[in-house]
Structures are given as C-alpha cells and as structure tokens.
Amino acid sequence: MDTIKRGFAIRLPFRLETQGLLCTAVLGAVGFVVLYPLLLLILNSFRVPGAGYGLDHWAAALREPGMLTAVFNTAKLTLLLQAISFPVAMLIVWLLARTDIPGKNWIEFLFWIAFFAPSLPIVLGWILLLDPDFGILNQVLKQVFSLETGPLNIYSFWGILWVHLATKSVVVKVILLTPFLRNMDASLEEASRVAGVGPLRTLARIVVPVMAPAIMVVMLMSVIHLLETFEIEQVLGPPFNFYVYSTMIFRLLQIEPPQYGAATALAVMILVAMVPLILLQQNISRSRRYTTVTGQYKAQRFALGRWKWPAFALVLGLGFFFTLLPVVFLGLATFMRLFGFFDLPDPWTISHWSRVLSDSIFLRSLKNSLLLGAGATLLAVLCYPLIAYIVVRTRYRARAILDFLSWLPIAIPGMILGLGFLELFLGSPVFRPLYGSIFVLILATSISSMTLGVQLLKSNLLQLGQELEEASWVAGGSWAYTFRRVILPILAPVMITVGLVAFIAATRNVAGIALLVTSQNRPLAMLQLDYMVDGRYEAAAVVGVIVMLLTCGVALLARLFGLKLGIRN
C-alpha cells in the first residue's frame, strides 16, 4: 500500500499539470466561441468606417423609421405575455405537481411535445384556423352568427399575442416550474394550513417566496425567448406593418446596402438591457436560502374531490389545444389544393407532397438539417461532459469562470448571437472561408443549447460519489483514463438525452441561424420560413410536417431515455 501511495504521489504532479493544461484549453475555447463574437459585436457598434470610433451607428439605429415603435411593440408584447401566461401556467403547474388528477404524467408529456415542437409549423396551423379570409374558425363563426366578415384576425397584435401563448409562452413555464414545485417540501404548506392560513395567503407567503429563484429564471428565459423568436412576427407582422426589435435587426440586414452598423448597435442595446435582469436573478438566488428537499422531505398531494375530473378535463384540453389542434390542421393543409379553401370542387390533393419531396432545394435542405442535427449532437456529446466535469470535479481555479461562460448563452437572444457570429465569420479573413458552411450553423446552434446540456450533466455529476474515481487513481489510472472509462459510462443515459435535446434544438432553430444561412447551407426550418414569407403555404405545410416528425420523433426518444427531472423519477 505504501508503494502504491508513493507511486500515486509521484505521478500526481504530472497528472495535475496535464489536467490544468486541458482545463485551460477548454476554458479558452469556450470563452472564444461565446465571448469573442459578443465583444466583436460591441466593438463594431462603435466603429465608424474612415472615422475611427463614434456613436454614428447608434444614432442611425435610433433614427431608423419605425424603430421606437418596434421597441414599444417589443415591451408591450413582453409585459402582456408575462401577465397572462404566468397565472395560467401556475394553475397548470399546481394541478400537475400538487393534486391527484389522473394521468398527470401523460398530460405533462403533451406539454413536452409542445415544448419540443418547432414554432413555424404551429404558426401555420393557426393561420389555417384564424386567417380573416379563409380561417376555419372564422368560417364557422360567420355561418353560425350570420357575419359578413370573420371576427378573428391572426394578422394583428392580439393574433401574435395568441400564437405566442399557444406555442411556447405557457408551455415553457409549465415544463420548467412543474419539477420545482413537485420537489418542494409539502410540510411548509401543511404547517401554514395548520396555523389557520388560507390557501391564497399560503400561496403568496410560502410557495411564491420559496419559488422566487425558479420564477426569476423562468421569467428571464421567457423574456429572452420572446426577444429571439422573430419568426412569428416575421410571418404575421408585415401584413399590418408590425415590427419588433428582432425583425428590425433582420430588416436592417436584408435591405440594400445592408446596415450592419445600425443592426449591431440595436443588438448591443438589447444585450445591455438584459444585464439588470440577469443581476436581479442572481441577487435573488444568493440573498436567501431556498432549500426545499431535505432528509425530512414530505410529498403530499392535494385531493381535489369533486373537482378532480373537471380539473383533468381542463388541463388535458389545454394540452391538446396547445399541441394537437394546430398540428391536425397543419396535416390537413398539406393535402389542400389551395391553402384554406375547403369549398373547391376537388379540394384535396397529394401533389404538394410529390412536388416538395422531388424538389432539389428541399432535398438539399433536408440533408443540411440532418447534418446540422448530427453535428450539434456530436459536439454536445463530446464537449458538454468535459465542461461539466471540469466545473464539478476538478480544483481548477478558473472553473467558476467556465461555469459562468457555459451559463451565459441562455442570457443571449439567438438573433444577437447569430449577428455576433456573422461579424466573426465575415469580418475576419481567417474565418471568412467558413461562412456559408454547415459548420457555422453547427457551432451557433451548439452554443445556444450549451446551457441546458451542461446543467443536466452537472446535476448528475453532483449526485455521484468520488469513490470510483479515487479507486481508479489509486490503481494507476490517469484522470483522462478515469474520465473516459469510469465517468462517461455512468453518464451515458444523460449524455444520450443531452444529444437528443441538441438534435432537436438544432433542427428547429431559426433565430440563431437566420443571419448565417445561405442558399447552400439552408436547413428545413429556414426553408419553411422562406415559403411562408413568399405565401407558398402548401409547400410550407409539407416542410412543417416533416420538421415536426423529426423533432417530435426525437422528443419521444428523449422521453423514453429519461428526460425526467422530478425526484420521484
């Protein structure tokens, strides 16, 4: 044993030195791909050609026609969405996490499907339902109430608000807050009820304060998601001249000549506006203790009694409403001879499928989507476990910086990150040859999904004891050997989940890659957006169904392999 210890002590400095070099290399690589595009973006927003540095681009961005209106539209949409979606989501969360409604696991899975589903196909389904001229719901309402025009109009502010609520705004809150409330010790609420406090005061004085960190994180993510999802406004906004900040950035880069300076200035403005929200969330998380699971953890379901089946019908109905209703009509749209018109002599056809599936543009986009998903999956499986291991298991002095860098992408709207990569690959002669390649899209989508992947791996590493690693070191195994032969096999299930999530995020991503896409590397999600903007709804519906099959099929696999966040699972 003494010989083993002496051998271990002799090899340890080399092991630590090698480990430190690799950790520094990983930190440098992550810092480069995350920070360098942002720093380049900030720098270029002040750079004036031929005049050094100044505020010319910022002034031009503020003077752009419709800019102030777009900022106001963004703020109004954000505030109304949070005010409406949080009460609805909290009701669903409470019913799923704290009550005895039947079939809650499958109902929750419906929300997972809606969470993984790409936005554009769902938007197309709602267009078929709510278009003022041919929308099915409008046609029904006109017949029933003898109206001359349909009362519902998806091409309006309230139409855009509704589509956000029906796609991700409510769903993302349900997915992220349900595990937290499920894991919260019910004895806190029970003690409040024993003390004679009513359910509303218990919710306000006990549940909400304890959930404050989770609520702030979810709110921050919701705001960021709204700032980066420009595809809904890009499709529904132009008919009534409605623009938000993200569509203004896209518009500035699409005009001739492109206004790169004004676009970067606008992106930096929004990035600066996000800083107070991030600092507020961190301050709330650190200022108090929020332990909810202890050795005396007590899970207790609230019996709804006679309200159980009405509550079941309500939540199940919302799940189907957010998931199946627009998807069913999206599928119908692929067989319609003319999108939205059911009263034609022969309204159904399969010609759209045959035309799209035989189109070389579609085939190239399908290939690009598969390459993009596979590349993002491979990069996630290779890199995310290493980042998580360095943060959790090593004594590397800069591991806190690496942890912050892995978290930072979730606080950056996809449009801003994409603009930063555009500046990087077009502004640098070294990287310019890579512009237009699929590698650029893989890198951008991998950065966007880094936070979720690393956090899932970190949570699993924190649950593992170090005995197996220590045994490997004592037996003479290097830290690299231990990581490869001990840690990775244990993390295999969650690594599969992380890879599947990376695939889904890559194939449905639009905002993060919209500025980096060319005709050669365009994936299916961007092809569908192009079809919708051009008014080719039939072809867009076919592409949307294929994207849905890709993403939701992989979501089913993710469910089977255990994307389960509750402690009971």
111/174 same-domain check: yes
Asked if residue 296 is part of any domain, the answer here is no
Which one is predicted more confidently, 464 or 263?
263
Q: 48 has which bridge partners?
A: 52
The region of weakest confidence among 5-19, 304-318, 477-491 is: 5-19
Question: Who contacts 517 (Cβ-Cβ below 8 Å, separation ≥6)?
Answer: 441, 523, 526
For residue 272, pLDDT beyond 60 = yes
pLDDT tens per residue across span 307-316: 888 888 988 8
Please answer whether residues 431 and 424 qualify as being in contact, where contact means their C-beta atoms are separated by less than 8 angstroms: yes
The region of weakest confidence among 319-328, 359-368, 383-392 is: 319-328
407/555 same-domain check: yes
Which one is predicted more confidently, 283 or 548?
548
60/158 same-domain check: yes
The region of weakest confidence among 27-36, 65-74, 176-185 is: 176-185
Asked if residue 17 is part of any domain, the answer here is yes
Reported confidence tier of residue 299, pLDDT bands at 50, 70, 90: low
Q: How far is it, in rounded angstroms, from Cα 365 to Cα 382?
A: 25
CATH code (residue 436): 1.10.3720.10
Q: How far is it, in rounded angstroms, from Cα 30 to Cα 298?
A: 41
Asked if residue 340 is part of any domain, the answer here is no
Q: How far is it, in rounded angstroms, from Cα 436 to Cα 416?
A: 18
Reported confidence tier of residue 306, pLDDT bands at 50, 70, 90: confident
Mean pLDDT of 407-418: 78
Q: How far is it, in rounded angstroms, from Cα 416 to Cα 422?
A: 10
- Tell me, letter by letter, the H, E, C secondary structure of 371-411: HHHHHHHHHHHHHHHHHHHHHHHCCCCCHHHHHHHHHHHHH
* 72 CB burial (10 A radius; 0-12, 13-18, 19+): exposed
SS3 337: coil
Asked if residue 101 is part of any domain, the answer here is yes
Mean pLDDT of 436-453: 89
Asked if residue 298 is part of any domain, the answer here is no
**How far does CA 404 lie from the centroid of its chain?**
18
39/67 same-domain check: no
Helix ranges (DSSP H) in 165-205 = 170-183, 187-194, 199-202
325/467 same-domain check: no
Reported confidence tier of residue 478, pLDDT bands at 50, 70, 90: low
For residue 569, pLDDT beyond 50 = no
Please answer whether residues 112 and 120 qualify as being in contact, where contact means their C-beta atoms are separated by less than 8 angstroms: no
Closest CA to 171 of 463, 455, 555, 488: 555
Asked if residue 176 is part of any domain, the answer here is yes
42/62 same-domain check: no
For residue 564, pLDDT beyond 60 = no
Alpha carbon distances (Å) from 78 to 87, 225, 282, 457, 497: 15, 10, 21, 31, 31
Number of domains in the chain: 2
Reported confidence tier of residue 280, pLDDT bands at 50, 70, 90: low
Mean pLDDT of 554-569: 53
Asked if residue 297 is part of any domain, the answer here is no
415/329 same-domain check: no
Mean pLDDT of 405-424: 81
The region of weakest confidence among 96-100, 265-269, 491-495 is: 491-495
Helix ranges (DSSP H) in 288-398 = 308-333, 351-357, 360-393
- The label of the residue with tokens 């199946």 reads 324
For residue 518, pLDDT beyond 70 = yes
Which one is predicted more confidently, 475 or 350?
350
Per cent of the chain over pLDDT 90 is 17
**How far does CA 93 lie from the centroid of its chain?**
19
Mean pLDDT of 130-159: 88
Domain of residue 169, residue span: 55-289+308-333
Residue 321's identity, in one-letter code, is: F
pLDDT tens per residue across span 77-127: 989 998 999 888 888 888 888 788 888 878 887 887 787 778 888 888 899
pLDDT of residue 9: 40
39/86 same-domain check: no
230/200 same-domain check: yes
pLDDT of residue 13: 46
Q: How far is it, in rounded angstroms, from Cα 170 to Cα 528?
A: 24
The region of weakest confidence among 129-133, 172-176, 365-369, 386-390 is: 172-176
Mean pLDDT of 218-233: 75
Mean pLDDT of 394-401: 85
The DSSP output letter for 305 is G
Question: Who contacts 378 (Cβ-Cβ below 8 Å, separation ≥6)?
Answer: 499
76/212 same-domain check: yes
pLDDT of residue 563: 46
Mean pLDDT of 553-565: 60
DSSP string, 205-256: IIIHHHTHHHHHHHHHHHHHHHHH--HHHHHHSGGGT---HHHHHHHHHHSS
243/164 same-domain check: yes
For residue 439, pLDDT beyond 90 = yes
Residue 546 CA neighbour count, 13 Å, CB half: 22
Reported confidence tier of residue 374, pLDDT bands at 50, 70, 90: very high
pLDDT averaged over every residue in the chain: 80
Asked if residue 91 is part of any domain, the answer here is yes
pTM, to two decimals: 0.77
Alpha carbon distances (Å) from 253 to 48, 143, 300, 442, 514: 17, 44, 54, 22, 11
Count of residues in the chain: 569
30/60 same-domain check: no
For residue 290, pLDDT beyond 50 = no
* 31 CB burial (10 A radius; 0-12, 13-18, 19+): middle
pLDDT of residue 479: 66
For residue 216, pLDDT beyond 60 = yes
